[in-house]
Structure 1
Amino acid sequence: MARKISNRRKIIMTVLAWSIGFLIFFPILWTIILSFKTEGDAIKTPLQVLSSHWTFESYALVQERSNYFRHFMNSVIISFGSVILALVIGIPSAWAMAFVPGKGTKNVLMWMLSTKMMPAVGVLIPIYLMFRDWGLLDTRTGLIIVLCLMNLPIVIWMLYTYFKEIPSEILEAARMDGAGLRSEILYVLTPMAVPGIASTLLLNVILSWNEAFWTLNLTAAKAAPLTAFIAAYSSPEGLFYAKLSAASTLAIAPILILGWFSQKQLVRGLTFGAVK
């Protein structure tokens, strides 16, 4: 029997949820507001900022100083390229761990997850030297490889969880019908796990899009994504709040739009297998 919830409790929970949501979103909202102000207005008190003149001046100056669309294309290619490469590696790996388990499967999964616990700066020097010697510094290919390796543990963990929810009897039936390993993964397993694969792709695209440490240390100009585009507006002379806010808004707008339109798919994938 379902537990009855009073209208008063519904109202309180709704107000609390909206309040927490607004509190989390407020820094982004304030950044967007500052992006439509001049440098002089951006450093005023909040009430003065809201009542000051709104202008696109900062956006014009940012575009004049930097090539936004070049950085944007670098971010798109690097983010989606690294995640697609991680999925190509992660789907067969997760399949093997989910349907051909061994005694060491859990240990391997824990070892992969433990690599995310190490500070990235701990391996910066060897990776930088390898990229320098192999000609991968300031290249999209180099960033795709390093971001793929960075997100691969998360990709495999998520896919492993989704694959474990698929009944093994379905795969056994496919084998009895003559499906080989390649056909089993491509035509049986992958279509059934589309929600999980989609949510894995979306989540890791967001992680790759927002990655700043590796993009700032392994790029200079040619392959610099939007994270480097934002960092260009922080200088020893100080922060240019309006221009920095405009650059930040331009950088986060695409991923906010993507997240907004794909939120149902993301939630569906993250809850895949939760209800039987």
Structure 2
Amino acid sequence: MARATTPRRKAFNTALAWAVGLVIFFPILWIVVLSFKTEGDAIRPPLEVLFDAAWTVESYGVVQERSNYVKHFSNSVIIALGSTVLGLLVAVPAAWSMAFVPSRRTKDILMWMLSTKMLPAVGVLYPIYLIFIKLGLLDTRTGLVIVLMLINLPIIVWMLYTYFREIPGEILEAARMDGAGLREEILYVLTPMAVPGIASTLLLNVILAWNEAFWTLNLTAANAGPLTAFIASYSSPEGLFYAKLSAASTMAIAPILILGWFSQRQLVRGLTFGAVK
């Protein structure tokens, strides 16, 4: 029997949740506030910034004049979506094999794949950099799509494997008895049943690829630089221009924040898929 929650306890939990949410969201809020201030006001004490400093869009105008935001934005979209779609094309058959044709080594393979995420990225930067130079992939969107797909592939496989394991194997056996081949089984039976899980996997990996900074800063220059490189261009040896850096950061994170806001229901549904029997 569920334990009743008192009004005082419910109020405390609500206040605590709002406090934690505010702490997590405050850095983003402060970046947005600073983006509407001048460089002189941006370095003033916080209370003066909020109540005494004038609001202006000057920093956004300077950022638009100095940088090609549309180019960086399109690079981010192509790289994030391309790496995610390519990862799904590889991960769906792999997760299907592990979920429905298991072997004694399945758990070991999954753990090995996950362990690759624990490797410091800088440990493989040099060989990947040399490979990119040899293949002509340096500062190209194709190269970044491949790299981001590979570094996020373990997460995609793990998530899809978890969702596929919740689908009864008898359904796939019935499809085979009706004459469905492997291709039809994956495309017309398995994939539609796992749409919530696949959608949440897609959304999560788009966010991971969009926010990736290490590889995008080290493997790109002027041509294929996404929005992470766009933000980094406002950190110079002469010092940090807080207002302009905040404006560039706001312009970079706004699209993914909007995407996350409108897709949060689908993301939560997918992440909890199969959690309740």
Shorter-chain-normalised TM-score: which range?
over 0.9
Tell me how far 1:3 sits from its aligned partner.
1.3
Q: Does 1:214 align with 2:215?
A: yes
- Equivalent residue, structure 2, for 1:159: 160
- Equivalent residue, structure 1, for 2:242: 241
- Equivalent residue, structure 1, for 2:229: 228
For residues 244-263 of structure 1, the aligned pairs below 5 Å read 244-263=245-264
Q: In structure 1, how many angstroms separate the alpha carbons of the residues matched to 2:169 and 2:78?
A: 36
- Equivalent residue, structure 2, for 1:38: 38
Tell me how far 1:47 sits from its aligned partner.
1.0
Q: Percent identity?
A: 77
Q: In structure 2, how many angstroms separate the alpha carbons of the residues matched to 1:245 and 1:228?
A: 14
- Equivalent residue, structure 1, for 2:82: 81
Q: Give 3-state SS (helix, strand or coil) of 1:220's partner.
A: coil
Structure 2 alignment gaps of length 5 or more: none
Tell me how far 1:60 sits from its aligned partner.
0.4
Q: In structure 2, how many angstroms separate the alpha carbons of the residues matched to 1:124 and 1:155?
A: 22
Number of residue pairs the alignment of both structures matches: 276
- Equivalent residue, structure 2, for 1:271: 272
Tell me how far 1:2 sits from its aligned partner.
2.2
Letter in 1 for 2:6: S
Q: In structure 1, how many angstroms separate the alpha carbons of the residues matched to 2:141 and 2:199?
A: 23
Letter in 2 for 1:129: L
Q: Give 3-state SS (helix, strand or coil) of 1:4's partner.
A: coil
Q: In structure 2, how many angstroms separate the alpha carbons of the residues matched to 1:159 and 1:138?
A: 31
Q: In structure 2, how many angstroms separate the alpha carbons of the residues matched to 1:188 and 1:153?
A: 24
Tell me how far 1:161 sits from its aligned partner.
0.2
Letter in 1 for 2:13: M
Tell me how far 1:11 sits from its aligned partner.
0.3
- Equivalent residue, structure 1, for 2:58: 57
Q: Does 1:17 align with 2:3?
A: no
- 1:137-190 C-alpha deviation (Å, 9 max, x unpaired): 000000000000000000000000000000000000100111000000000000
- Equivalent residue, structure 1, for 2:151: 150
Structure 1 alignment gaps of length 5 or more: none
TM-score, scaled relative to structure 2: 0.99
Q: For the aligned residues, what is the CA RMSD?
A: 0.4
Q: In structure 2, how many angstroms separate the alpha carbons of the residues matched to 1:24 and 1:245?
A: 17
Q: Give 3-state SS (helix, strand or coil) of 2:224's partner.
A: coil
Letter in 2 for 1:39: E
Divergent runs of 4+, >4 A: none
- 1:218-254 C-alpha deviation (Å, 9 max, x unpaired): 0001000000000000011110000000000000000
Letter in 1 for 2:19: S
- Equivalent residue, structure 1, for 2:95: 94
Q: Give 3-state SS (helix, strand or coil) of 2:128's partner.
A: helix
